[in-house]
Structure 1
Amino acid sequence: MHKGVDIGLIGTAPGIRQIAAALADAANARVLGLGDLDNALQALEALSCDLLLVEATDPALPAYAQLRAVAPDSAWIALDRVDAIGRVPAWMALGAAACLALDRLDAELLQRSIAQVLAGRATTAALNAQRDDLLVLFERTPLPMWVFDTVTLRFLAVNDAAIRAYGYRHEEFQRLSLYDLRDPEEHAALELALSQPLPVQASASLVRHRAADGRPILVEISAQELRYGGRPARLEMARDVTAQRQAIRSIEASERRFRDLFEQSLGLICTHDMDGLLLSVNPAAANALGYRVAELVGRSMLGIIPETMQAHFHTYLKRIARNEADSGLFYVQHRDGEQRIWEYNNRVLRDEDGQPFVMGHSLDITEHRLYEHRLREQQAELEAVNDGSPMGLFRASLGGAWNYANRAFERMAGLRSDEARGHDWLRAVHPDDRARVTADWQAAVQHRQRFQSRLRFRHDSNHTVWVAMQAAPLVVEGEITGYAGSIEDISARHLAEEQLRRNEQRLRTITDALPAMIAYVDAAQRYQFANVAYEQAYAGARSLVGRHARQVLGEDTYLRRQPHIEQALHGVRVTFEDEDEREDGSYVCLELTYIPQWDEERRQVLGVHVMAQDITRQKVEEKRWIQAAERDSLTGLSNRAGFLVRLERALARSRDQRSLLVVLYLDIDRFKQINDSHGHAVGDEVLRIFAQRLGTVLRPSDVIARLGGDEFTVIIEGMRRSQYASAAAAKIVAAMRKPFLLEVQGLSLSVSTSVGVALAQNEAQLSVAQLLERADGALYEAKSAGRDGYRVRAGDNAEMQKKPTSG
């Protein structure tokens, strides 16, 4: 029995008291009498015992089941008063560590049982302590750990680190299996791995898990087989190597990029030791020298440097060993013997062993050097051309400051190129022009626009040069970088223009003083000059310059004159009259002359000079004389001359339009008897009344003429049918049958007329004389038929109509 053990006795049977006495004699334990079961339960709430000896009467009593709750740290032995082996499992189920028969109990058996129970209790306590330590280690380890059933693959336990790492709650995790941590396409690999035998301490394997939020986690798994709750299980520890692997991949990618950069770079990269022995060369550098990489590695750089430059190479080795960095130009020799120029930038580095070596990066600038040389040559040629140019040339910065001017500018401005730099070129500008030119130049520069100006350079008080100056922005890749400009000496042109201006002023003074209208239109029919008389006539004294002829003249007038304008623009001098009846009823007639203006080589018409004179008064007077010459003084009708002019025109229109033309030839029957019986005064009055009645019967557009004596003619145009001509003749005959009342003479006379009707249509060769002869023939037939009637002739087939017998 263990010394110092507290033993509590529960029960009142005599055998219990004997046990107490036996234990006290042993003096190895302290024995506490706790009374019956109910008193013991109360006492155990305030004290603790290592072992309880309990009088066991009936396992069904609830008080026995309370012992575990009241004294959880105490082991107890059931002392059954009934020697019933069958009740042993019941006592054991209630928590008893052993069960002894009270009536057959002796001290040796009791001491042995107590020793066994206490030893078992100590072992259990040690195991529990070990379990608690393992549980603390399991829970507090910073790496995710779990235990899963190797059959169902469901999690049996997980630590807090796994909860934090995977984002599941504790109860959620224990509802999962290993499948839930892996992507579906990796389940087959998981099953294969689990089917393999696992050593006692498995080596780590790398797998890909997925957290609760879908985030991938790359973990390194260490596993160990164990039994958990009596079932085969496996303990796994997962180390998150996601960041580590990403870092490794980044390093590997960086190494690949460096390798690719070294291998694929167009730059020339190589390394050499401190004696100039090549350690590595990239393909671009090898190709630039005409070698393969393997042919250069291990060779001294002296083999690729021209002999004349090898002394400089030794100096370079000393310099870079001293400064650990160097840059400059290498002159290297291509395999074919051609000398190349490399621009290098080298640094001293150290390998893992601390040994120094040189890493170099170079560019082959041979072509660039040649280009720069050609560029300098071209620049020199350009400057020579610029200096030889008769025009002044200059360049300016974006801010407008001059940075170059050629020799021609120096000659014009009287300033040297260096004296004109910046804004000092304005010193050459005439004082009267300087403020204007300065403001215009600053405005053009500010708004990035073109600059144009006409100004004067003044060498001294006696010498002035007129120049035309212009500049435009220089655009390089879409950006304005400055300005380039030119200056032209226009002194001679300025003098010529001044002379021309004075000549134009004199010409305008002369033309404005002339009563004639004078103008000039260019080949585009736009006015370039018009004197005062022309402007007053067509624009109300406003300027016509720049306006089109159609706009100035008006649509109707322009259309009348357009054929003549185009004729003049084809090089023909044209003179014509243009008549116009205006809206106010006034009549105007102009005589116009269009004179072509040829170029100096007489190859092209540049424009047309227009000269116009108002001949309205002459035309009116001319018409009055013509009308007087063509008018019958007795009747007011057209006379023979006027009739013939109008008949000629009517016949021409008939030919052009293929229209019907009707001519009536008529006279007064027995007119001689009227004259002989009543005198010529009565005869004249009869003629006047006869003319008036013709006017009332015929249309206003019909032409009526008196050829002489009692002979009259009528011209009728626009009839659609020949029958209408017969109707008109019949109306005339009927109208003349009414009595002629002569109030002054107090007479009433009966008068009749005979009419000959001539028709003409589609007769291209018919003349006026032939048409009159046809009408006269028809009149003769009417006379022959008894007078007071009419007859009609149409070409060779005359249509004959007799006088009607009644009105």
Structure 2
Amino acid sequence: MRALWAGFALSALVLIAAAWQWGHAEQLRRSQELAAVAGELQNLGEQLRAWPADRGLRQSLGELLAHPRLGYARFDLRDGKGAVLLQLGRYDALDLPLPRPLREALRSGIYRVSSYPGELVLRDHDGAWRGLLQLRLLKSRRQLHDPVIRTMQGAARMQGLLGLLLLGGFALLLYRQARPVPDWSSRLLPADTPPRPRARRGDGQPDPYAAGVRQRVGRALDGLAYGLILVARDGRIVYTNDTAEQLTGWLRADVQGRLVYTVFRTLGEDGIPEVTPAEACIRDGQDLPPQARALRARNGETRPIEVMSCLLRDHDGVVDGAAMLFRDMSVAIRQNDELRRQARLSQGVVDHLDEGLLTTDPAGVVRFANARAQRMFGYSRDEMAGVTVTKLMPVPFLNTPGVRIGDYIGARPAAHLPKVVGWRKDATTFPVELWVQPMSVDDSSGLVVIIRDITERLRGENLASRLGRLLDSAMEEIYIFDAQTLYFLEVNRGAQRNLGYGLDQLSMMTPLQISEDLDAAMFQSYLGRLRGGDTGHLSYRCRHRRADGSSYPVEVRLNFSREEEPPVFMAIVADISERQAAEERLHQLAHFDALTGLPNRTVLKDRLDQALLAASRNARLVGVFFIDLDRFKPINDRHGHEVGDRVLRAVAERLKQGLRSTDTVARLGGDEFVIVAQGLRTREDAGRLAQKLLDSFQAPLQLDELSLPVTPSIGIALYPLVETDTEGLLRYADSAMYQAKQAGRARYHLFEADLAPERRRRLELQREVHTAIALNQFRARLQPVMAARGSAVTAALLRYDWQHSRHGVIGEDEAALAAQQAGVRADLELWGVYRACELLSEAERVGAAMPPLLVEISAFQLRTADFGLYVADLIDRFRIAPSQLILALRVPDGETLLLHDAAQALVRRGLRFGLHAGAVATSVPEGAPLLCLLEVSAALLVAGQGELPALARQHGMELLVRDVDEPAQAAALVEAGVGHLGGEALLPPQDLADFLLRLQQHPLQPL
């Protein structure tokens, strides 16, 4: 036996050696063939050098492929970077009626079978590397007559023949030696089982051979998930495998000898138990084919199964019992149900397609039509079955010879194919767009035909074409741009012509890129209003920038179209260059002097009105300077009106040069000019400006060869020193100008109004209060607040007065009123907070205990971050406890209190707030933080008749009266529920040092 195997191995080695020698000879032959074709193809390197300008390379490769003796099968030409330049093959034109992947695989297999690969580096005449040519040569075309190769091939053939003969002989001998006589029963038994003796019928002894077979077969069926039950002739169970135990719920030990119908219980459709397949098989004497049943397990669970049964016979052919083979079908049924559900879902998806879908046989007979196709042609599903494509679409398949449905296979139909028209059941027609694809399922083939009704699309295209021609001929610029990306989708020819851009360039641009002065945020707000439906359209003006850099003014009318998918904006743009120039000319004529270009009386009055409004807010003076030229008439009479006009223009230039950018100079007519100067602080400021103007005219006017001395006379009226309106100021300034002329010309005169001393004082305080705050001309003092019952000091009121250089000491109320009218009340309050922090820091530095300081502020200060950040900075800078400050808020009636996050942060740090009551009907404003104090005046408390104490108790606030004037008044206030008192009658305001001395005389009980 070993010798036979050794001979078999030797034969195999002979075959391997023959195959190796044949392969070596074939490799040598292919190398010689590739060396032979290298000379034929080397001139391609020079042609590749001129690629792609020289297109002759494709023709050269095509001629090489077509040559019958050269034997080229395929060329793949690549450049120096590996990119494919050309691909040509002998079988590329092979077009079989197969699916594209299968067609490509078949073509590749033909190339591999009929040819072998090679590659050649292409160089030009200079030796430079130009590319790589990968080629395939046909195996049977080139015949090289090399004796060495022929000798090697002959030797390989002889070795192969010898090896085959030896291998066949040794294989036959091995087969005869090793062929056994099959004993299938012994193969199912363990290897150590002794030979089976012939059993005698009726001896009652268990058969070990049969038991072994049962176990081996049972385990094999367990691997296949089949249950096995062996039943004797009397219907009792002999054997069950593990799968049968799982499916029936009965253990093998429990079922041994039991009647089969008590274990294997199958139910009919009405739930009545049925005869088991094993019993039926024994009863009928024939095998039972597979059938579906419902099996009830021992635990009452019912599951679907597939069961079959066959008879068991002994050696004499006598029926010895039956075997039942069954399996659980639950998973298979669920899978089938899922497949049916998927089929219904697929049917529903196909029926909901917008296109009609037909499946046909190769002859064009309809086998299936979706719901859309049925509605499209007007047929029912049954009527569509068996209908031909030529009946549904007679144009072109019926009336055009040679046109078949297969011509439309592939992608979109080519332009040379005729248009397709559908024919409905009611004989109406409609245009159709057609896609056809081959379909192959199992052994059957057919076509999938997708039909789209393009009636609406053609109508829309015709309408769009008509509208496009109309829009292109319009004079306005028309832009349609995407609502999300803002890129232009359509631009008419008028816009392209005006901008100088092509349609390709504009498709990569947005409205912001062609607009010079269009703010992006403002443009987005326009679009947002249109998207939100706030308005149907809106208009705005901007400038469009041309491709050459120039620009022109336009008026844009913007609309939003939600009906488009995706939504778009449409802008209709009109060039308003001529209209804007005309408007500017009209505006210039209406508002400016034609001779000098200065503002006329209309503009003067408007700017003077604005200056008066500003002066009422900032407590500054507005000066009106009325100017008249001295001895202008002699110049006009002597030199003529032309020189007079030149003099007026020169005077206008000198006046403008002597003014600030905020001042206005206007010409009223003739030689009269008016200057409006804002922001003057004092009368002296007006005098200095007038003198500056007079000094600018000391030098004569130089007009070519003429030198003309010209001087002005100036009259000045100051608002609000002169309380009047615009016309009154001009009138008073005109009167002052005549007084200047009467005084000798070339001078100015200030109109003096008769003002009451009290009003003059009030105006001066308003003008100077800002400077007083900046120069720290205010003095801070502290007034103790006493507990209503006892003598303890609970807090201190921050009081202040103004140390004025001319008017002496200005009280707190008058100073606060001046700051209010001057618009700097907030600055004065910030100064108060600063001084309070500074005083607390000084007291802490000397080691003196201080009660909390009460500072009044306006509630509007808490709305912005500046106040909160400023107070937080003061607390950190002076290192004081936030609880040492109590800010009493003055809130107008009915106003909601808004706290910025910075103010909320102060509350969290421990800063406390109180409420200053300005009226009897005071209430806690909405949005107020937790208030600890209600500050009122004595007169207001009496007038309220108990309302304010009730308000304080309701919100848990302490009640403070700050202006107790008489000691007797204090007792009445205590009876009214006041907890804290302050005022001149108790303790007057004092400097910090005196205040600290006074604290030593009273106990300290901080609020």
For the aligned pair, the TM-score class normalised by the smaller chain equals 0.3 to 0.5
Structure (1 or 2) with the larger CA radius of gyration? 1
TM-score by length of 2: 0.38
